[in-house]
Amino acid sequence: MAEIGIQNLNFNTMFLWHEELINAITIVNNIMLEIKKPEKVNLPLSKFHIYDRETFMHSANVSLLTILIARKIGYQGKRLKEIAEGALLHDLGKLKVPKSILNKPGRLTEEEYELVKKHPQHGMELIKPYSFPKAVQCPIIQHHERWTGSGYPLGLKAEEIHPNAQIVAVADVLSALIADRSYRQGLGAKRAIEIIIEGKEIDFSPVVVDQLLKVFILN
């Protein structure tokens, strides 16, 4: 896997506590190094980086945000590492989505959207040969589940959603809102967080949203 300078990620950090961010970056970098080990060398994360750099960098940002939120909830040690790894791999299934759809500048057709919606299952297929614990697997299959049951692919709601997936769901949307994409400019962090707050108890766990607000300095 090619060396990736995580410090160059397209991520708006002006509202973050600097020391906490640096620590989170270290954890994500260490996970990337572990994925290079012989027992996981065939895990297609390096292909992901080559296939679609924007989505890969988004995944790294989601892992960073996940660590910052999870720490506020009390995660540490092995538990923190597992959720960070699940966050890093959460969009791996997009390797099976055509790049023309991933980077389409306009609105997706219904058929295209249905293809995109299959990426959680594709991600699970890609990690199947490896012995990832449930704590890593759940964010991959459940990160698009929503608090009132309107998400996919399983239609889970509230506490049916694994706690790790609840956190990654918030980090995923926040990262997507902040990031510049080929088809639109990213929102400022403050506006992006306001949108997350609007989705509290509708799309997102109220506990996770409350802890997210402790991560950022908005005053």
pLDDT at 182: 65
pTM as predicted: 0.88
Residue 141 Cα distances to 11, 95, 134, 186, angstroms? 25, 15, 10, 26
- Taking only the tens place, the pLDDT of each residue in 111-163 is 999 999 999 999 999 999 888 999 999 999 999 999 999 999 999 999 999 99
CA 86 to chain centre: 8
- Taking only the tens place, the pLDDT of each residue in 87-100 is 999 999 999 999 88
- Fold of the CATH domain 13-215: Hypothetical protein af1432 (1.10.3210)
- In this structure, the chain runs to a length of 219
Q: What is the DSSP string of 53-70?
A: HHHHHHHHHHHHHHHHHH
How many whole angstroms separate alpha carbon 100 and alpha carbon 130? 29
pLDDT at 1: 39
How many whole angstroms separate alpha carbon 69 and alpha carbon 171? 8
pLDDT at 12: 45
Name the residue among 89, 81, 49 with its Cα closest to residue 172.
89
How many whole angstroms separate alpha carbon 213 and alpha carbon 68? 11
How many whole angstroms separate alpha carbon 84 and alpha carbon 107? 31
